[in-house]
Every structure is written in C-alpha cells, then in structure tokens.
Amino acid sequence: MQKIDNYNFKGKKVIVRVDFNVPLNKETGEVSDDTRIRGALPTIKKIIEDGGAAILMSHMGRPKQNPDPKFSLKQIIPAIEKYTGAGSIQFAEDCANADAQAAALKNGQILLLENLRFYAEEEGKPRGIEKDDPAYEDAKKALKAKQAEFAKKLASYADVYVNDAFGTAHRKHASTAVIADSFDESHKMFGFLINKELEAMDKVLNEARAPFTAIMGGAKVSDKINVINNLLDRVQNLIIGGGMTYTFIKALGGKIGSSLCEEDKLDLAKEILEKAKQKGVKVILPVDAVNADKFDANANTNVSKVNETPDGWMGLDIADESIKTFEDIIVNSKTVIWNGPMGVFEMDKFAKGTSAIAHAVAKATANGAFTLIGGGDSVAAINKNKLADKVSYVSTGGGAMLEYMEGKQLPGIVAIRG
C-alpha cells in the first residue's frame, strides 16, 4: 500500500476527498466549527509543499437538488483560506464539469470542487422516488452505473487519489470508494488524518494494554450493540451509562419510572450481561441517577437508586455514587475507549456525569493510559470541557468509528488498503 509520508507529489495533480461537512452559523453563514478543515490541512500542505496541485472534493449536508445554494461549498472558502492564504482557493461551480479548471491548475495551486452531493451519483441513492416504490430498485441500478461514470470523471482530473475523509469512510460513495478503481496501487493512498484515525483504532483493537475499559453511553443500546459485542472479546471493564442504562436496569428487574427504555431489547440486554459474565468482563452499571419530572432543561429533579426510579420520573444523568465508581475504574485503566454521553449533557442540570467522565478520561491519559474518544456527543463533551488535548485521540468519525470498532470492513478503507 502506498504511504503518503514517503510519496513525492511534485508535479502531480492530486484529487483529495476531504470532509468539509462543517456546521455553518445559521445567521451569518460562517463556519461555526472548523475542526474538520484543520484536520485536512496536513495532507493539503504536504501536496502543496511538495510542489503538486490539490483538487479538493467534499460533501456538505444533504442537498436534494443541483445546485442548492444553502449547501454550496463556496460558503466555506474564507474558512479554508484562513489557513491556506487569502486568494489561494479556486472554485469549480460544477464538480462534474471541472475539466478545464483541473487541466489549467498549476503546481502549488488548490481547486475546490462544488458539493459532490449536488449529484445523486455521489451517494448512489435515487432521488424523488420512495424506497417502497416498485421502481426503486431499477432506479438504483441505473444510478449505480452512472455513479461509476461520475467517479471516473472525478478521477480524470488527477494523477493521484488521496482519501482523507474518515467520517464518510463507511460509505461506498463515488468519491470515497468507487473512484479508487481508477487508480493503481501506487497512485492511491490515505491522507494523514485517516492514517491517524486507523492508527488510534488499531491500537485499541489490537494492542490494548490491560486494564482496558470501554465506556458506552448515549441514547440507545440498539445503536451500540455490535460495538459492545466486539469489545466484549477485548475489554476487562464495560461501563454503561446514558439512556441505554435503563434497558439493562429493567432487564434486571429494576424500576425505571418513565426513563428511556427499548422494550424490544430487554432480552438482548440480558444476553450482553450473560456473555460478559462468560468472558469474565466486568459490567459496571450506574447505581444512582439524577431524575427529572419531564424532559426539560428546567425540570424538577431528584436523586434515587437507579433501579428505584419513582413513577413519573425519568433518569437523565448518573449521580454521585456512580460517578465515583466510574472514575475509580477509568483512572486505573491503561486503555480507554469512550463513546456516548452519560446523560442529557446538552442540559446543564444533567451534564455533571458526562463532564466528570471527560475529566476522568483526561486523568487516565495523564496517568499513561491510551484513550480514544469517538461519537459526536462524547467529542462535544470533551470539547465543552476543553479537554481535547488532554486525551490521546479524538476521532472525527462517529458512524465510521463505530463500524470500524464493530470489526466491519469500511468501503473507503478497503478501496485503498485492500
């Protein structure tokens, strides 16, 4: 496999799949969080400094037509130029008709293509036709053929393909996977960002030092079940928090009031607990909780044992005893993976548990542990607590990270690594 580190881009046109799907301020239209732009910079810089030309392509949002100004990548040019220099970005209004601009691009220059998802070919999902329509499958087949053409068109702009968009690596899209078919092994590679992501995840999956603790939170068990299953073969401790707690508590016969619960996953919760027992994995559930009388930032609150939630109340955060138990386990771990908040951390009244866990993960890192944080909400919690540089790695890909940790083959990774 070709590595970016020892590739010389001099004189090459390089098409780079980046993840510029950045949030925009609704009022000003400005980029409100440029983390993803910064994430792509090392790869862009290497191409330019080597003396190559970079053609950047990305999606943004979920446009349904072409063009769709609300989702135009033109809006983010100033944010990219903040790091690459004023006036440094050329722009192609139509990503599928950029031949002339790509051909005219000189070494050291950067061309940004308009939002790839203006074309349904990018995702290969037919538009304007419902999935249950009998004609849907035929439409999808027809579009797949066009997707290959679209990918070839994108490939025709460049000599080399670099994928640096980890957030979309779990999708078999034109720009993330299909395009790789047009390049031989020595002309396609991962960018620095994907390399870092893979390194961090492989470290956790294959070289974890014990004790290895997985902290799983968030709303639903069903979203995390495959990751939990895969991790049960690897971890010594599985900490469970957030809304998914209550499916486990109910499965164990506890009283959960009106807390979130997936009734159809009670057996699954029991199976996980049984499997963990067989494998010698310690499952640590919260013992107490902060309850609310409604799902509201200004709700009345009380604290109870997690399995004695009063009728009409719902558990929205872990409480002090649970925090203490979780902290002890985390700070004594040598490997930690965290995905999903411990409570409804978006509301101040229910953010304490998640913040405490963020700090405990930072402390474990200071103690020498390797710590990996992924999933939009846990990343937001780490950022909110200003701890991003106090943990080992913060993943940029929520869904992609979960699928990788499930042990799945991601199309965007396979397309390059094989």
Contact between residue 287 and residue 324 where contact means Cβ atoms under 8 Å apart: no
> Which residues lie closer than 8 Å to 329 by C-beta, 6 or more apart?
211, 213, 237, 239, 284
The DSSP secondary structure of 302-324, one letter per residue, reads: EEEETTEEPTT-EEEEE-HHHHH
For strands 188-190 and 160-163, give the pairing: parallel
Q: Between residues 260 and 373, which has the closer beta carbon with respect to ligand AMP?
A: 260
Residue number with the shortest CB distance to ligand AMP?
218
Q: By three-state DSSP, how is residue 15 classified?
A: strand
Which residues make beta-bridge pairs with 214? Answer: 238, 337
Smallest distance, ligand AMP to C-beta of residue 348, A: 12
CA distances from 150 to 111, 117, 124, 173, 212 (A): 18, 11, 10, 10, 44
Q: Give the pair of three-digit tokens for residue 329.
A: 């386990």
Q: Pick one of 220, 270, 282, 384: the residue that binds ligand AMP (CB under 6 A).
A: 220
Query: Does 218 qualify as catalytic in the annotation?
Result: no
Does 283 participate in binding ligand AMP (rule CB under 6 A)? Answer: no
Residue 39 or 343 with smaller CB distance to ligand AMP:
343
Q: Which residues pair with 15 in a beta bridge?
A: 55, 161
125 flagged as catalytic: no
DSSP 24-68: B-TTT--BS--HHHHHHHHHHHHHHHHT-EEEEE---S---SSS-
Decide if 124 is catalytic. no
Q: How far apart are CA 21 and CA 171, in angstroms?
A: 15
The span from the CA of 391 to the CA of 370, in Å, is: 8
Place of tokens 């009380």: 302
Nearest in space to 394 (alpha carbons), one of 415, 377, 417? 377
Measured from the CB atom, the residue of 79 and 379 that comes closer to ligand AMP is: 379
3 catalytically annotated:
no
Instruction: In angstroms, give the least distance from the CB of 225 to ligand AMP.
Output: 12
Segment interacting with ligand AMP (CB under 6 A) among 94-102, 171-179, 212-220, 300-308: 212-220
How is residue 262 written in tokens? 């997936």
Residues near 276 by beta carbon (within 8 Å), at least 6 away in sequence: 232, 238, 282, 283
Q: Which of 125, 144, 399, 408 is catalytic?
A: 399
* Whether 92 contacts 113, CB under 8 Å: yes
Please pick, from the candidates 52, 167, 218, 397, the single residue that binds ligand AMP as defined by CB under 6 A: 218
Catalytic entry in 125, 146, 220, 349:
220
Q: Which of 111, 316, 379, 415 binds ligand AMP (CB under 6 A)?
A: 316
Nearer to ligand AMP, 164 or 377 (CB): 377
Q: Which of 349, 376, 384, 390 is catalytic?
A: 376
Site string for ligand AMP, 329-368 (x = CB under 6 A): -----------xx-xx-x----------------------
Taking CB under 6 A as the criterion, the residue among 39, 167, 191, 375 binding ligand AMP is 375
Q: Helix, strand, or coil here: 56?
A: strand
- Least separation in angstroms between CB 373 and ligand AMP: 12
Smallest gap from Cβ 247 to ligand AMP, in A, equals: 11
Binding flags for ligand AMP, 232-271, as an x/- string (CB under 6 A): ----------xx----------------x-----------
Stretch that binds ligand AMP, among 25-33, 149-157, 161-169, 219-227 (CB under 6 A): 219-227
Catalytic residue among 36, 224, 234, 250: 36
- Apex CA 46: angle with CA 91 and CA 365, to 5°? 110
Active site residues: 36, 220, 376, 399
Q: Write out the residues near ligand AMP by the rule CB under 6 A.
A: 218-220, 223, 242-243, 260, 315-316, 340-341, 343-344, 346, 375, 377
